[in-house]
């Protein structure tokens, strides 16, 4: 029997919604999906938890600062093929903020923008599915 090993990369994403029905998206500055809208997020660094990575990436890419405790875990997305670079597993978090929370693109995001949940652009990866999970969890 031959064993096959797969490199798995660990990431964290954040769905930030407002109490009046908007979601924060960033425009990706790098491939894959350069120029596409996506959730703020990225790689979990060595020695870092996914929750800490989510808070860090949110601050770096969108200028939104949250404590680890403010981020509610939505779930794990690990479907093979969800990222064209290889096997990526993400833990997604949700943060609800007040309307008018300031945002500023940074790091590998070229723009950050609030989008109405009922008029979202096409989003990269499986981020539409993650956004739907966040909206469903807040409607319970």
Q: How many domains does the chain have?
A: 1
- Considering the domain boundaries, does residue 119 fall inside one? yes
pLDDT digits (tens, 9 = 90+) for 122-136: 999 999 999 999 999
pTM of this structure: 0.94
Structure letter (DSSP) for residue 71: P
CATH of the domain at 50: 3.90.79.10
- Considering the domain boundaries, does residue 90 fall inside one? yes
- Considering the domain boundaries, does residue 78 fall inside one? yes
- Considering the domain boundaries, does residue 59 fall inside one? yes
Distances, alpha carbon 104 to alpha carbons 31, 65, 118, in Å: 20, 11, 23
- Considering the domain boundaries, does residue 1 fall inside one? no
Distances, alpha carbon 129 to alpha carbons 81, 83, 122, 136, in Å: 14, 14, 11, 11
Distances, alpha carbon 88 to alpha carbons 64, 81, 96, in Å: 24, 8, 25
- Considering the domain boundaries, does residue 47 fall inside one? yes
Contact criterion met (CB below 8 Å) for 61 and 23? no
Rounded average pLDDT over 3-30: 95
- Considering the domain boundaries, does residue 3 fall inside one? no
Query: Higher confidence at residue 76 or residue 140?
Result: 76
Rounded average pLDDT over 97-108: 95
- Per-residue pLDDT band at 3 (split at 50, 70, 90): confident
User: What residue numbers bound the domain in which 29 lies?
Assistant: 8-138
């Amino acid at each position: 029997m031959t064993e096959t090993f797969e490199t798995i990369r660990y990431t964290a994403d954040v769905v930030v919604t407002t109490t009046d029905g908007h979601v924060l998206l960033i425009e990706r500055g790098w491939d894959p999906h350069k120029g596409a809208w996506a959730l703020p997020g990225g790689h979990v660094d060595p020695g870092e938890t996914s929750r800490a990575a989510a808070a860090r990436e949110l601050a770096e890419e969108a200028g939104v600062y949250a404590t680890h405790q403010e981020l509610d875990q939505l779930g794990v997305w690990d479907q093979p093929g969800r990222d064209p670079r290889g096997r990526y597993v993400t833990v997604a978090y949700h943060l609800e903020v007040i309307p008018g929370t300031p945002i500023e693109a940074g790091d590998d995001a070229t723009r950050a923008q609030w989008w109405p949940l009922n008029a979202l652009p096409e989003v990269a990866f499986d981020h539409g599915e993650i956004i739907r999970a966040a909206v469903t969890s807040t409607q319970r």
